[in-house]
Structure 1
Amino acid sequence: MAVEFQRIQLGWWLEGNCTAKYCSDHATCTNITSPVDNGGSGFRCRCNQGYVGDGFSAGVGCRKASSKCNPSKYMAGHCGGSTRVGALIGGIIAGAFLMTGLTLLCYVIRKKSSSLKSRKSARHMLAEAAGSCSIPFYSYKEIERATSCFSERHRIGTGAYGTVYAGKLHNDEWVAIKKIRHREADGIEQVMNEIKLLSSVSHPNLVRLLGCCIERDEQILVYEFMPNGTLSQHLQKERGTGLSWTIRLNIATETAQAIAHLHSADNPIYHRDIKSSNILLDYDFKSKVADFGLSRLGLTEFSHISTAPQGTPGYLDPQYHQNFHLSDKSDVYSFGVVLVEIISALKVVDFSRHHSEVNLAALAVEKIGKGCVDEIMDPSLEPHTDAWTLSSVHKVAELAFRCLAFHRDMRPSMIEVAAELECIRLSSWGPTEENECLGSSFASEKSQGLAGRKVGIDSRRLVLSLRSNSMVPLEEVTDSSPISVYDPWTSEQSSPSGNSLLDNAIH
């Protein structure tokens, strides 16, 4: 069944032939055949273009059409032309595409401009931080490509301040890429601080900074790759099967030398976060100190006052934690904890131990102070099979004991620590080398005019002038600290600074 619709148009017509008098002005007469008079003739009057009416002179005639055209007539095409609905829809669609394209173009231009501005700002900050040193600047895309968009299989470590990934850049060599964790406004300050410090010092046992990326609100540092991970991983046997005592002693000595180098720079640098997880190991187990984000310049010979203590629990200098006074001896304390780790392979903070032994530093001070080094010694070292190993472990334990003194004035300097560790390491060659080392170390201390060094068992300390190269005594003061840990103590918070612990401990 089909339904058809037709349109009809109604109009007036008259019988007869066209006569001008019947049509009004501005009308046209048209002859038609009458549909009702058996094909008779007829005519019709129709107004010309631009005029409206019936066209007959006897009717309303023709008048000029009004120029007014409302939207509905326009859309319907009554104002001239065809319907415009389709044209309007097409125009809207085209306009939408045009606006979208313009918006995307503006976004891309703005993003590139922002990225360029960010890069220029970053380069300016880098130039200020690095000074005359040239630090390569990598784009974020290069870093993403090197780490496969920071994939988990490239992740090699996660710390309090960021995640470290392994990756390859242009020269196809492995590098370590540290992506700084989003923190407060001081995040960029810490990155620039690390760049500044690593650019100002150079030492074979300090990790090398190879480049950086500061883009898309990300701060990324690129370091040389250390394939053997961290000292902490090996001590906890998270990697490998453990380290021999010789390797451990080498690591301790090299680390001490690196920290001593920082402290003895023209502008001394305090690391503030010395710990076993910040000591990296290369293919030959050579150590390199890393993570300088918290480091600070020691601008004066006096302690630096920090707004708040920063560092890692278990390694933090107790005096620094109490009064916020930062000095080189704060690093000495932290390194003392590392020495205990090297000896014991115990965790620095372990809540599975007895509540009085949770803190490794406190446990070590107690055990070493009682001459019970064997109770905290790592059994895998097998010290009793080798006389030198047993002797050197006790010497390192004594040195750690002195580094962990509560009062910073009782702790040795890192230069002294590095020298003593070097002596212990050289002692494996024979007693002659050790004696020569100790002699040269003492001579070096005299030439540097180091104050506060113990000179005898009478517990008297010689205070020397630091303004003169000569050893001119200014005053002698009584020192209540005993030379041996077996001597009476006047304070439970301080520890000895003498060198007789070894003999008492092993006899």
Structure 2
Amino acid sequence: MLLLLLLFILSDVAVTLLSTATPTPSPQLLNCSTTFDCGPLRNISYPFTGGVRPSHCGPPEFHLVCLGDDLAQITTGSMNYRVLELDQINQTLLLSRSDLYNNTCLSNNYFNTTLNSTFFRYEIGVDAEDLTLFYGCSTRMNIQPGNMFQCQINGNSSISYYLVGPVPSDPILSVSKCNASVRVPILKSYATLLTTNRSTIMLKEALSEGFSVNYTDPYEEECRKCQGIGGECGFDSYQASPICICDGGVCSVTGSKNQVSLGIGLALAGAAFTGILLGFWIFSMRSKRRRKREAATVAASAVQSECKGISGGPPSSKTLLPVSTTSYSRTTLSYPSSNSDLEKGSTYFGVQVFSYEELEEATHNFDPARELGDGGFGTVYYGELHDGRVVAVKRLYENNMKRVEQFVNEVEILTRLRHGNLVTLYGCTSRRSRELLLVYEFIPNGTVADHLHGKREGAGLLPWPIRLNIAIETADALSYLHEIDVIHRDVKTNNILLDNDFRVKVADFGLSRMFPNDVTHVSTAPQGTPGYVDPEYYQCFQLTDKSDVYSFGVVLCELLSSKAAVDTNRHRQEINLANMAINKIQNHALEELVDPCLGFETDYSVKRMATLVAELAFRCLQQERDLRPTMLEVLEALRRIKNEENNFQNSEVVEMDIQPDDAGFLKNNIVPPPLSPESVVNDKFVSNSNTASSF
């Protein structure tokens, strides 16, 4: 009886061991602690998989396909998307539809953008805005021409349109008038741009820049428990459930292994069966033949039963097998190249896109000896391109979202400008490049600030005729900007470049704003350079074209005085040049403001013109913007001053000992502006007499 009891105990142990035994853990249960790079994305971890990170290390919805050094792709909702940016801290993705990347036309598959809402979401009106593309439309459309673009459908050119925002219930465009329509989300900032800058280039840019998506891992709680016991988060695609990986095997979140290797299980089972057979042999030697036959029958039956358990059953459901990647092979084949579309000869807002390596070589690895200037947003370097062009390369200090916004803003604005007194933008790097770089024409003669009170001050004095021409050409450039609804917002002598003939090139549009023509002002936080900021803009947060007029008034004062806009070495009441100039003008002490080297006291012609320019500067510096002239009026006034001098013999003589009622800027009905906030000095304000060009 004792041996029989032992038989049943050992049989039960063997069956239990076999039922829990699994194959040796696959090597694919390893490597989940590693991060990976994919295209432009770096140091990616759970829940994402791809590259050197195996598929069992995260849910299949987060699998990335890595195509070379420049492209990363994710498939969701049966649609392929380029992953432009990935922020694992804030759990956001910047996605762009692969079939509409740098492209506006679809040959087929006219599907709306869809995402698996369990894992991905975006909010229309908050993060994104809907863009609807209409293909194969009738020409009889009551819609602005700027919204139209051409596509080839079945080999024939077809009219297509786009519409930003929700489609009206009684739409101008409808399926009855168009063959197909596709809804695509875009960034809200680009939706705004598309309403003011209607062009195919802008449409391509909006589609390429994609839209922001928040992602959520529904297995986050299980993963947190797994990490709490020192495990690594994984996923069993066959069971569609999360797993916790410990030492290459699957463990429970309590920390105990729920798997025993097949080798150990079989060894224990074999030992059990050996004991059983040995017990039967001893028992048979001491029992009667009848009982020995019965025992033998029982033993044979047990062996057959257990052997079926070994050879016939399926593997344990807990066994983790390699996850097939067949479903992603289609993704890889859909791309003809792994090179970025924003490199090597492509365009961005219509200008050339340079590779980082090309500009690094052009500037001799950004050699400090080649620095042209160091401003508030970046350093400018002298460079030589492969095609022989001499350029100025602006290297932004930080590649963060604020710098990207300024980068995109400057590129977009400069590509719209066509004026001889505005600096020409040759190109830039991709906004997802290693660094943000802008490539301009090289202007060899420094800035106006350099010549007035900077490093070129001793190289030769700027005579009055050149200073007057600088004022006229700068006013001409700003007048042009205002005419096309652009506010520069950082007008200063550091941003006025000079060529070898002292012709003006206005630069640095990083803070500029496109100004809608149907509003009176734009509400925005004041930005600019101390000493130049419009006091009303500073107080009311309302940006208008008159803000540029105020800044230009400070530039006129610099041209008159050769003094910096802010200089803490001056007397406290004169640190701010604008306030100093107003005080001198009102107290009939213009000779104390104007640079004596200009011949103000000895040359009657200079004295007369400088007086008129001072009056104009006074009008520009009025605190209330409605009292300031427009930039066009400033330009016309400067041209009159120059023309009157050319015809001086026929002009009326103006004496300097005029009374308050004899000159417009001294009349009592014009109240001088109080000290602007820029005149309040603290330790962080220093003299900008040595400030170089910031472009």
The answer to whether the 8 Å contact 1:179/1:220 transfers is yes
Residue 354, structure 1, aligned to residue 534, structure 2 = no
Q: 1:486 to 1:260 in 2, by over 3 A?
A: closer
Counterpart of 1:380 (choices 577, 588, 597) is 597
- Hey, what's the Cα distance between the residues in 2 that align with 1:216 and 1:183? 9
Residue 210, structure 1, aligned to residue 284, structure 2 = no
Q: 1:225 to 1:341 in 2, by over 3 A?
A: same
The answer to whether the 8 Å contact 1:163/1:178 transfers is yes
327-336 vs 386-395, which deviates more? 386-395
Residue 128, structure 1, aligned to residue 207, structure 2 = no
- Hey, what's the Cα distance between the residues in 2 that align with 1:188 and 1:434? 53
- Hey, what's the Cα distance between the residues in 1 that align with 2:83 and 2:365? 24
Structure 1 counterpart of 2:355: 139
- Hey, what's the Cα distance between the residues in 1 that align with 2:489 and 2:424? 18
How far does the alpha carbon of each residue in 1:270-321 deviate from its partner, in whole angstroms, 9 at most, with x for none?
A: 1100000000111111001111111111103533333310111100000000
- Gapped runs of 5+ residues in structure 2? 1-33, 39-49, 53-65, 74-81, 86-94, 104-189, 191-199, 206-347, 653-660, 676-695
How far does the alpha carbon of each residue in 1:374-393 deviate from its partner, in whole angstroms, 9 at most, with x for none?
A: 10111221223322111111
Shift of 1:485: 4.4
- Hey, what's the Cα distance between the residues in 2 that align with 1:424 and 1:271? 25
Residue 236, structure 1, aligned to residue 194, structure 2 = no
- Hey, what's the Cα distance between the residues in 1 that align with 2:471 and 2:592? 21
Residue 164, structure 1, aligned to residue 380, structure 2 = yes
Q: Aligned runs of 1:469-484 on 2, under 5 Å?
A: 484=664
Counterpart of 1:247 (choices 447, 466, 484) is 466
Shift of 1:169: 0.7
SS for the counterpart of 1:320 is helix
Q: Cα RMSD (Å) of the superposition?
A: 3.6
The answer to whether the 8 Å contact 2:349/2:412 transfers is no
How far does the alpha carbon of each residue in 1:378-414 deviate from its partner, in whole angstroms, 9 at most, with x for none?
A: 1221223322111111111111011001110110100
- Hey, what's the Cα distance between the residues in 1 that align with 2:446 and 2:670? 43
192-201 vs 320-329, which deviates more? 192-201
Q: 1:346 to 1:130 in 2, by over 3 A?
A: farther
The answer to whether the 8 Å contact 1:424/1:434 transfers is no
Q: 1:376 to 1:155 in 2, by over 3 A?
A: same
Structure 1 counterpart of 2:558: 341
333-342 vs 382-391, which deviates more? 382-391
Shift of 1:241: 2.4
How far does the alpha carbon of each residue in 1:22-75 deviate from its partner, in whole angstroms, 9 at most, with x for none?
A: xxxxxxxxxxxxxxxxxxxxxxxxxxxxxxxxxxxxxxxxxxxxxxxxxxxxxx
Q: Aligned runs of 1:3-152 on 2, under 5 Å?
A: 111-113=69-71, 127-128=201-202, 134-152=350-368
Structure 2 counterpart of 1:404: 621
- TM-score using structure 2 length: 0.46
SS for the counterpart of 1:200 is coil
Counterpart of 2:668 (choices 477, 488, 500) is 488
Q: 1:487 to 1:426 in 2, by over 3 A?
A: closer
Q: Aligned runs of 1:240-389 on 2, under 5 Å?
A: 240-265=459-484, 268-389=485-606
- Hey, what's the Cα distance between the residues in 2 that align with 1:286 and 1:269? 22
The answer to whether the 8 Å contact 1:423/1:434 transfers is no
- Hey, what's the Cα distance between the residues in 2 that align with 1:169 and 1:135? 15
Q: 1:301 to 1:154 in 2, by over 3 A?
A: same
Q: 1:151 to 1:288 in 2, by over 3 A?
A: same
- TM-score using structure 1 length: 0.63
The answer to whether the 8 Å contact 1:482/1:489 transfers is no
Q: 1:417 to 1:494 in 2, by over 3 A?
A: farther
The answer to whether the 8 Å contact 1:262/1:269 transfers is yes
Q: Percent identity?
A: 42
- Hey, what's the Cα distance between the residues in 2 that align with 1:434 and 1:256? 24
The one-letter amino acid paired with 1:335 is F
How far does the alpha carbon of each residue in 1:434-469 deviate from its partner, in whole angstroms, 9 at most, with x for none?
A: 79xxxxxxxxxxxxxxxxxxxxxxxxxxxxxxxxxx
- Hey, what's the Cα distance between the residues in 1 that align with 2:543 and 2:403? 21
The answer to whether the 8 Å contact 2:423/2:505 transfers is yes
The one-letter amino acid paired with 1:339 is L
Shift of 1:483: 6.9
The answer to whether the 8 Å contact 2:356/2:434 transfers is no
Shift of 1:488: 3.3
The answer to whether the 8 Å contact 1:194/1:295 transfers is yes
- Hey, what's the Cα distance between the residues in 1 that align with 2:402 and 2:410? 12
How far does the alpha carbon of each residue in 1:191-239 deviate from its partner, in whole angstroms, 9 at most, with x for none?
A: 1111111111210001111011124342111111000011100001411
- Hey, what's the Cα distance between the residues in 2 that align with 1:130 and 1:178? 25
Q: 1:183 to 1:409 in 2, by over 3 A?
A: farther
Shift of 1:153: 1.3
- Hey, what's the Cα distance between the residues in 2 that align with 1:260 and 1:206? 12
The answer to whether the 8 Å contact 2:554/2:617 transfers is yes
Shift of 1:432: 7.5
Q: 1:127 to 1:144 in 2, by over 3 A?
A: farther
SS for the counterpart of 2:438 is strand
- Hey, what's the Cα distance between the residues in 2 that align with 1:129 and 1:233? 41
SS for the counterpart of 2:601 is helix
More contact order relative to length (CA 8 Å, sep ≥ 6) = 2
The one-letter amino acid paired with 1:192 is V
The one-letter amino acid paired with 1:128 is M
The answer to whether the 8 Å contact 1:229/1:280 transfers is yes
Shift of 1:426: 2.2
Shift of 1:130: 9.7
The answer to whether the 8 Å contact 1:179/1:219 transfers is yes
Residue 424, structure 1, aligned to residue 641, structure 2 = yes
The one-letter amino acid paired with 1:113 is L
The answer to whether the 8 Å contact 2:619/2:665 transfers is no
Structure 2 counterpart of 1:88: none
The answer to whether the 8 Å contact 2:356/2:429 transfers is yes
- Between the two proteins, the alignment pairs up a number of residues equal to 352
Q: 1:138 to 1:271 in 2, by over 3 A?
A: same
The answer to whether the 8 Å contact 1:329/1:413 transfers is yes
- Hey, what's the Cα distance between the residues in 1 that align with 2:600 and 2:204? 46
Shift of 1:110: 5.2
- Hey, what's the Cα distance between the residues in 2 that align with 1:145 and 1:431? 54
The one-letter amino acid paired with 1:228 is N
- Hey, what's the Cα distance between the residues in 2 that align with 1:206 and 1:320? 25
The one-letter amino acid paired with 1:381 is L
